[in-house]
Amino acid sequence: MQWDDMRVFLAVARAESLSGAGKVLRVDPATVGRRIARLEQELGAPLFAKSPQGYAPTDAGMRLIAHAERAEQAMGAAREELAGQEGRLSGQIRIGAPDGCANFLLPQVCAAIARDNPDLDIHIVALPRVINLSKREADMAIAVSPPQAGRLSVQKITDYHLHLAASRGYLRDNPPIETPADLRGHRVIGYIPDMIFDKELDYLSDLGVERVPLASNSVSVQVNWLRHGAGLGVVHDFALPMSHPLRKVLAAEIGLTRSFYLIRHADDRRLERLNRFASALVSGLRAEVGRLESLT
């Protein structure tokens, strides 16, 4: 059994389809199918069960995944050692993050890392859901809740703060808000309630808000609604300096604190290249949250 066969097998297991694996491997699906058939013949056991939902690993396939992932880790470690880790980072690293972090923090933090490492390719995956590391959607992920299951490494990055905010135009043209009781009757902007993928993002429930007339699963859409005077909503403090003309509302009375966590595969802690990137990412995020919040 060769490493290249294991690499094809892992791609199918993670993508759950030949076409998805082909995109990752940059080969046509028919070639992927032939490689899997050859590997199954060599091992004398079916590795996948095909259904309308895609390719699901059989019992034999599930057992092989653990061995294939250990081989993947060993190959990664070997490449790092042979390349030498003194000096700059290179290759590709993919980060998954919730869209507030991905839009308002990661671009400038990753730009600074990229300037110091011109041979490094950084991909930011901004999704309104939890990133699936087991399927290698990313090399590491930023989350607002630490995971409770899986062989994962969890590191707290930093706390961050959120407040109610609205545009100056909205506050000028609508009844004044001087106490929490004055919020009644104002149009609220927030997440689509049934698409909130983490309880830590359910800000409005904490504030007793039951109806969200303008809702989106995207933080950027919410911020743009606020900027255009459509209502008021909860905004990350670190987003306010980039979201003119928003201003805080009832800042002394209403405020929320949340945290960011860096999530990685436990086995990846042995890869010095990813360790170095993670260290730069964490220190950069801590500094950027502190800098932006100090401006509000």
Q: List pLDDT tens digits, range 204-215.
A: 887 778 889 999
Does residue 171 sit in the same domain as residue 33? Answer: no
From 83, 107, 129, give the residue that closes a domain: 83
CATH number at residue 101: 3.40.190.10
Structure tokens at 76: 């990664």
Rounded to whole angstroms, how far apart are CA atoms 237 and 106?
Answer: 15
Question: What is the model's pLDDT at position 104?
Answer: 97
* DSSP class of 58: -
pLDDT band at residue 112 under the 50/70/90 scheme:
very high
pLDDT interval class at 271 (50, 70, 90): confident
Instruction: With cut-offs at 50, 70 and 90, classify the pLDDT of residue 78.
Output: low
Picking from 287, 294, 285, the residue whose alpha carbon sits closest to that of residue 144 is 285
Q: How confident is the model at residue 122 (pLDDT cuts 50, 70, 90)?
A: very high
What's the CA gap between 64 and 50, in Å, rounded?
A: 17
Q: CB within 8 A of 204, min separation 6: which ones?
A: 188, 190, 191, 212, 233, 234
Q: What is the pLDDT of residue 239?
A: 97
Question: Residue 250: what pLDDT?
Answer: 96
* Bridge pairing between strands 214-215 and 246-248: unpaired
Same domain? For 163 and 253 the reply is yes
Q: 159 φ, ψ to 5°? A: -80, 155
What average pLDDT score do residues 218-230 get?
A: 96
- What six digits make up the tokens of 110? 């990753």
167 and 224 share one domain: yes
Q: Among 49, 83, 117, which residue terminates a domain? A: 83
Percent of the chain whose predicted confidence (pLDDT) is above 90: 59
Let me know whether 35 and 169 are in one domain: no
Cβ neighbours of residue 86 closer than 8 Å, sequence gap 6 or more = none
Total number of domains constituting the chain: 3
Q: What is the mean pLDDT of residues 30-59?
A: 90
- Examine the pLDDT at 86 and tell me if it is beyond 60: no
Q: Quick one: 59 and 125 in the same domain? A: no
In this predicted structure, the answer to whether residue 46 has a pLDDT above a threshold of 90 is yes
Q: Tell me the DSSP string of 90-107.
A: -EEEEEEE-HHHHHHTHH
Residues 171 and 232 in one domain: yes
For the residues 149-175, what does the mean pLDDT come to? 93
Q: What is the CA radius of gyration of the chain?
A: 23
* Mean pLDDT confidence for 137-157: 89
**Position 175 pLDDT exceeds 70:** yes
Q: Name the band, by pLDDT with cuts 50, 70 and 90, for residue 247.
A: very high
Give me the helices (H) in 84-184, please.
99-104, 106-116, 168-173
Residue 152 and residue 103 in one domain: yes
Residue range 30-58: average pLDDT? 90
Q: Give pLDDT, residue 127.
A: 80
On whether both 124 and 190 belong to a single domain, the answer is no
| 94-104 pLDDT per residue, tens | 999 999 999 99
Strands 188-190 and 91-97 come out as unpaired
Mean pLDDT over the full length of the chain: 89
Cα(161)–Cα(248) distance, integer angstroms? 12
Residue ranges making up the domain that contains 279: 91-157+259-294
Distances (CA, A) of 44 to 34, 37, 231: 15, 10, 63
Confidence of residue 71 (pLDDT cuts 50, 70, 90): confident
Q: Is the pLDDT of residue 132 over 80?
A: no
Statement to judge: residues 127 and 105 lie in one domain: yes
Q: Which of 168, 145, 148 is nearest to 228 (CA)?
A: 168
Residues 237, 244: Cα–Cα separation, whole Å: 12
Q: What average pLDDT score do residues 229-253 get?
A: 96
Same domain, 167 and 253: yes
Q: Please check whether residues 163 and 247 belong to one and the same domain.
A: yes
Q: Report the pLDDT value the prediction gives residue 255, as an integer from 0 to 100.
A: 94
Based on the fold, state whether residues 244 and 170 are members of the same structural domain.
yes
Least confident range from 64-73, 252-261, 270-279: namely 64-73
Residue 84 has pLDDT above 70, yes or no: no
pLDDT score for 83: 56
* Last-in-domain residue among 83, 112, 134: 83
Q: The domain that contains 54 carries what CATH number?
A: 1.10.10.10
From 186, 296, 191, 172, select the one nearest 244 (Cα to Cα): 296
